[in-house]
Amino acid sequence: MDLVTAGRTTAEGLLAQALPRRWTHVMAVSVKASEVSMILDEVERPLLVAAAWLHDIGYAPELIDTGLHALDGARWLRQHGYGKRVAALVAHHSCALFEAEERGLADVLRTDFVDEETALRDALWYADMTTGPDGQNLDVLERLAEIRTRYGPRAPAKSSGDAE
C-alpha cells in the first residue's frame, strides 16, 4: 500500500466513526494539500498528502497520551512505521509548539521530532489553517477566530476531539 493510501486508511479508521466532525476536517485538509502539492517535487507530494490525512489522528481517543494531539499522533505514527519525516510533520503541524509550551511539553516535542521548516511543512500548515472544522474554506484569521471561539481565549486546545 502506498503512503497516501495508508495515511487515508489509518486516519479513517481512527477518526471517521469516533470523531466524525474531525474526520470531515481531515478530508478537506487532504483535498487542499493535494491541490497545493504541485509546488513540491515528486518525492515530497505524497509526504504532504499523507501528513494531511494523518495530522489530527492524535485526537483519536485510543491515541491520547500526553494531551497534545500533534505529539500523540506523531509518536503513534513513528511506532507504526510511517517514518521520521511524516511523524515530524504531524508533530509540528500548525504551530503545535505554541500549544506544547502551554502544556509544558515543548522540550519533549523538540527532542522527539525535528521541525523541518520547509515549504512542505508550510504547505501542510496552510492546508490545515485555511480549513474549518466542517471542511469549509477559511482564511487564516477566520480560522484562528474559529479556534479561539471553540476553545476559549486562554485554554490550550483540548485533545479529546472536542471539535465534535
Q: What is the pLDDT of residue 160?
A: 38
Domain coordinates in residue numbering, the chain: 3-151
- The β-bridge partners of 137 are 131
Q: What is the pLDDT of residue 153?
A: 65
Q: Assign domain 3-151 one CATH number from 1.10.3210, 1.10.10, 3.30.70, 1.20.1250.
A: 1.10.3210
Q: What is the pLDDT of residue 159?
A: 41
Q: What is the pLDDT of residue 145?
A: 86
CA distance 57 to 60: 6
Q: What is the pLDDT of residue 158?
A: 45
Neighbour-count burial of 1, counting CB atoms closer than 10 A to its CB (0-12 exposed, 13-18 middle, 19+ buried):
exposed
Q: What is the pLDDT of residue 164?
A: 38
pLDDT less than 50: residues of the chain: 157-164
Find the helix packing angle between 44-54 and 20-36, rounded to 10°. 170
